[in-house]
Structure 1
Amino acid sequence: MNRRSSPLFVALVFAALALFPLVAGNYGIDFVTKVMIYAVLALSLELLVGSTGLVCFGQAAFFGIGAYATVLLSPQSGAPSLLWLLPACMLAAGAYALFVGALSLRTKGVYFIMVTLAFAQMAYYVVHDTPLGGGTDGIYLYSKPAIGAWLDLDKPLTLYAFTLACLLAVFGFLALLLRSRFGRALAGIRVNEQRMRATGFSTYPYKLAAFVISGALAGLAGFLFAVKDGYVNPEMMSWHLSGAVLIMIILGGLGHLRGALIGAFAFALLQEFFKSEAIFGGFAKHWHLGLGLTIIASVALLPRGLVGVPGQVRERLVGKGMSSRRADASEVRNEHA
């Protein structure tokens, strides 16, 4: 997919999401709301992995902190104001990201991956083994946030529209950020950090800022998830979720914001497909196997992810065209000979 077609593709995706409630039932609206939340989470990780080259395996911790903050800061009676609750949840996730990033960014490679995983597991066991997070049973959100009577997130359609607005805002924010001087510095760090240092850039503050922004955006996704389900549990912070989000952005195509969108929807649809008992019968309980094999095949056959499919098709067609022209020229030469 070339750069000219990318804005059109993104516009069509968001237009389709805006019109989807007109043709969908309650299940469809709930499902797409969940996928859009995961798309926000995938975009937050794309900032680190695809744009900065930092493979973080603890994104679920920031997601879970945002979700738990939503429940813990909400009163049991009366709807909390969205105007202060949402920024507070993002601030809580961003604060933990600042703490984790300040320490983990002093390491590199596999050590960075392991340190971020360790901090995520620490957060997991805090809510799993203490009364703060309700232990393994989790805790319930008794009253969902609102702004007066006109924006009540307890209504599915209102929550859908608000989640879509958040997804659009995050996508637009990251698109502008990556086109700024800050974004170009992150791209330089991803390509060659040593060269960036040699040109006078102090790369550590840039990486830390990206880490904090990513954590805060993951906290936004956690907030939306807690509001949607009205319930949080420690599994939201497990390493399985961090791995799933990493698969989403790889499946969609690293280095592209639209790849995070495509990957989140593709991953969720593949899950639903392999879980379908109507299609696979008893094999549906082994859906992890089918999903895993499909992802392995996708990575092997689509090294640039799903966003690279149009380019690969174009290259194949151009290659075939050149081969046929060479064959025709060879035939002409043979005839003249």
Structure 2
Amino acid sequence: MRELGRILGRELPALLLLGGLAAAPFIGFGEGYMLTLLARMMILAMAAVSLSFIVAGAGLVSLGHAATLGFGAYAVVILDDLQVVDALFVLPAAILAAAGFALVTGAVAIRTSGVNFIMITLAFGQMAFFTASSLSGYGGDDGYTLYARTEVNGARLLDDRLVFHFVCLGALVLTWLLCRMLLASRFGRVLRAVRGNPMRAQALGFSPYPYRLTAYVIAGALGGAAGFLFANATEFVAPAYISWQRSGELLFMVILGGLSGLHGALLGAIGFVLLEEWLSHQWEHWRIAFGVLLILAVLFLPGGLSGIPAQLGRMLRRG
């Protein structure tokens, strides 16, 4: 019972956030616009959790993670153009496309580390961006509008906003659970050992390369699933989904929430989207204020949003 209490205490922030998202449509956030915003929030949180898995778990700071969302989204686009619209085919294609991209690019990038790894992932992400921009058959820079959302066994379930809300929530929960289980497993312990001291891990018989590459591919696959949902949420896909700015936003969500656990990525994504939405309705040049607030958050919240309770506790003890 004591061990169960410790586990629940550790995961309580994530459980509260996920519970709040589940209850949101029934406590005043069930209108069309709010459900759209919540879906976007959960999809980006899904991508942020998958990125946090490799950043906090393996020490792989990627500036090209948005490319995996793009590959997932463009898989939806290509199949939509071919009139293949059943999720039974579209979702696996999106996941495999993103995982394949992560495997090919990761095989090269993971041979490096630190700044070199960041720059290589950025370069691969930009290559994906310019490739998408050159696809004139799928709208090029102007993007591509889906004929309709993906069907589920012939039924148009995803057209219902409330159903789509819970589909996104279910995908987010599964992403969090998978990453949480992997980090708690022997695989995750090896990843953390490799992140802390690669030479010592290698001396113990654990080669860092295959573990890091596997984690990178898993994160890419989850990003592809998020891309599938993103394409269906907006019913529109453009190269901007793959840009380095989107990758930077995802990385900032992870940092803003805090690197102490996967719940930080959840909190960071929710906080980022809410702040962006609120400021955009307050001021025409809201991006200036947005940037300033994000800088202040990094300077004065070293543990991220998830570290605020501990930071307040330390301040109270000093006072």
Amino acid paired to 1:194: M
In 2, distance between residues paired with 1:82 and 1:316? 51
Question: Aligned residues: percent identity?
Answer: 42
What TM-score do the two structures reach when normalised by structure 1? Answer: 0.89
Residue 44 in structure 1 maps to residue 14 in structure 2 = no
Where does residue 67 of structure 1 map in the other structure?
73
Amino acid paired to 2:298: V
What TM-score do the two structures reach when normalised by structure 2? Answer: 0.93
Structure 1 unaligned residues grouped into runs of 5+: 278-283, 321-337
Where does residue 291 of structure 1 map in the other structure?
290
**Corresponding residue to 1:136 among 129, 137, 141:** 141
CA positional deviation for 1:301:
0.9
Where does residue 85 of structure 2 map in the other structure?
80
Instruction: Write the deviation string for residues 89-116 of structure 1: whole angstroms up to 9, x where unpaired.
Output: 0010000100000011111211111111
Instruction: Write the deviation string for residues 213-259 of structure 1: whole angstroms up to 9, x where unpaired.
Output: 01111111110000111110110010000000111000000141000
The answer to whether the 8 Å contact 2:88/2:153 transfers is no
Where does residue 335 of structure 1 map in the other structure?
none
In 1, distance between residues paired with 2:73 and 2:152? 19
Amino acid paired to 1:307: S
Task: Specify the SS of the correspondent of 1:261.
Answer: helix
Structure 2 unaligned residues grouped into runs of 5+: 1-5
Residue 124 in structure 1 maps to residue 129 in structure 2 = yes
Amino acid paired to 1:87: P
Where does residue 314 of structure 1 map in the other structure?
313
The answer to whether the 8 Å contact 2:17/2:267 transfers is no
Which piece of structure 1 moves more, 123-132 or 286-295?
A: 123-132
Instruction: Write the deviation string for residues 58-112 of structure 1: whole angstroms up to 9, x where unpaired.
Output: 01111101000011112565x7221221111001000010000001111121111
Amino acid paired to 2:193: G
Query: Does the C-alpha gap of structure 1 residues 204 and 132 become closer, same or farther in structure 2, counting only changes over 3 Å?
Result: farther
Query: Does the C-alpha gap of structure 1 residues 62 and 132 become closer, same or farther in structure 2, counting only changes over 3 Å?
Result: farther
Q: Looking at CA atoms only, which structure, 1 or 2, has the larger radius of gyration?
A: 1
**Corresponding residue to 1:257 among 253, 256, 262:** 262
Where does residue 327 of structure 1 map in the other structure?
none
Pairs within 5 Å for 1:1-337: 4-22=8-26, 23-24=28-29, 25-74=31-80, 80-148=85-153, 152-277=157-282, 284-320=283-319
Amino acid paired to 2:250: V
Residues paired across the two proteins, number: 312
Amino acid paired to 1:21: P
Amino acid paired to 2:10: S
CA positional deviation for 1:275:
1.1
Query: Does the C-alpha gap of structure 1 residues 133 and 111 become closer, same or farther in structure 2, counting only changes over 3 Å?
Result: farther
Query: Does the C-alpha gap of structure 1 residues 76 and 152 become closer, same or farther in structure 2, counting only changes over 3 Å?
Result: farther
Which piece of structure 1 moves more, 129-138 or 146-155?
A: 146-155
The answer to whether the 8 Å contact 1:146/1:152 transfers is yes
Q: Over aligned residues, Cα RMSD in angstroms? A: 1.6
The answer to whether the 8 Å contact 1:94/1:216 transfers is yes
Task: Specify the SS of the correspondent of 1:46.
Answer: helix
